[in-house]
Structure 1
Amino acid sequence: MTPAPPPPVLEPPALEHVGTLSVLIAEPIDVGPTPEGHRRIIPITGGTVAGPRLSGRVLPGGADFQTLHAPELTELEARYALETDDGAVISVDNAALRSGSREAMARLIRGEAVAPAEIYFRCAVRLRTSAPTWDWVNRTLFVGTGERYPDKVVVHLFRML
């Protein structure tokens, strides 16, 4: 009987920083309690993206659709568009989780400043475009870390290698 081969050595995927998004936001629209949780819509008014592989501006007109499942947990689904420095338009679909202590999350929901270290904010991001120069984003998975401030959301975006 042949011995079983050793188990493969599993390596996590490497990450490469592509850019940091600074997404400007307006006052939340409070939908209120629904059967799925408390809903809020946060309009996106503009912003920037700057980094080694991605730079340009965040176009106004998108929104972050939030579901507050518990005082310590918010699920986010942001959809908006970027315009790169060379004029390409890239759509952004950002699915995220934000959690923290009941007190820190309450301050965040009220629009107060909360230190990023107090909040777990991670996201899975899909980018899509019709621009041939940027086709690589259509075939790449992205992850990120987020920081919420009273007037903006900062997302550090990484591509999975």
Structure 2
Amino acid sequence: MQDPKLVFVFEATGAVSPPLVVGQTPLGRRQVIPIEPGGPFTGARISGRMIGGFDWQIIRDDGVTEVEATYLLETDDGVRIECRNRGMRHAAPEVAQRMMSGAEVDPAEYYFRTTPVFYAPAGRYDWLNRSVFVCTGARYRDGVRIRFYEVA
């Protein structure tokens, strides 16, 4: 049996629009965050820009934000790849309050992890369809930065 290792794949940065609040649901407060087009992603084997997407969020009563983002990536050589990225973000109440107020918060002060699944066409990037990936994330006032790792 082998212990898994993480191999850095790429880092993506993206601007986001203000939340579109759906409202209180049985699972928590639902909101949708539009992901703006144009954010770059860069790595040794793949790079390009984000075409756009949406991050559907549930803010639970226990303070955990469940994220489920779907976005489209376009590589520098014109290949389009769908990414569905699910996970969660949470912090101590005082840190969460600072984040909600728009303050810049050091990513070391909160937990933000996701598990992306890629849907790449046959060809140069179909290796994305055959591995498990995990991400670490950082939330900023008007954007996000996410690092993608392959579980080797």
**Please, what TM-score do these two structures have when normalized by structure 1?**
0.89
Secondary structure of the equivalent of 2:124?
helix
Which stretches of structure 1, 4 residues or longer, exceed 3 Å deviation after superposition? none
| In the alignment, structure 1 residue 56 sits paired with structure 2 residue 9 | no
Moved more, 103-112 or 19-28: 103-112
Unpaired runs of at least 5, structure 2: none
Is the counterpart of residue 120 in structure 1 residue 116 in structure 2?
no
On the 8 A contact 1:83/1:90 being kept in 2, the answer is: yes
Indicate the RMSD between aligned Cα atoms, in angstroms: 1.3
Q: Give, in angstroms, the shift of residue 112 of structure 1.
A: 2.6
Matched AA of 1:31: V
* Unaligned segments of structure 1, at least 5 residues: 1-9
Aligned length: 151
The question of 1:98 aligning with 2:66 is answered no
Contact 1:125/1:144, CA 8 A, preserved across alignment: yes
TM, length-normalised to structure 2: 0.94
Structure 2 letter corresponding to 1:49: F
In structure 2, distance between residues paired with 1:96 and 1:108: 18
**Paired letter, 1:133:** R
The answer (yes or no) to whether the contact 1:89–1:131 under 8 Å persists in 2 is no
How much has 1:71 moved relative to structure 2? 5.1
Letter in 2 for 1:67: I
Q: What's the CA shift for 1:110?
A: 3.3
- Shift in alpha-carbon separation, 1:23–1:108, aligned structure 2, 3 A: same
Contact 1:71 1:105 (C-alpha < 8 Å) held by counterparts: no
CA distance in 1, matches of 2:27, 2:99: 21
Q: Distance in 2 between matches of 1:113 and 1:106?
A: 11
Q: 2:70 aligns with which of 68, 79, 89?
A: 79
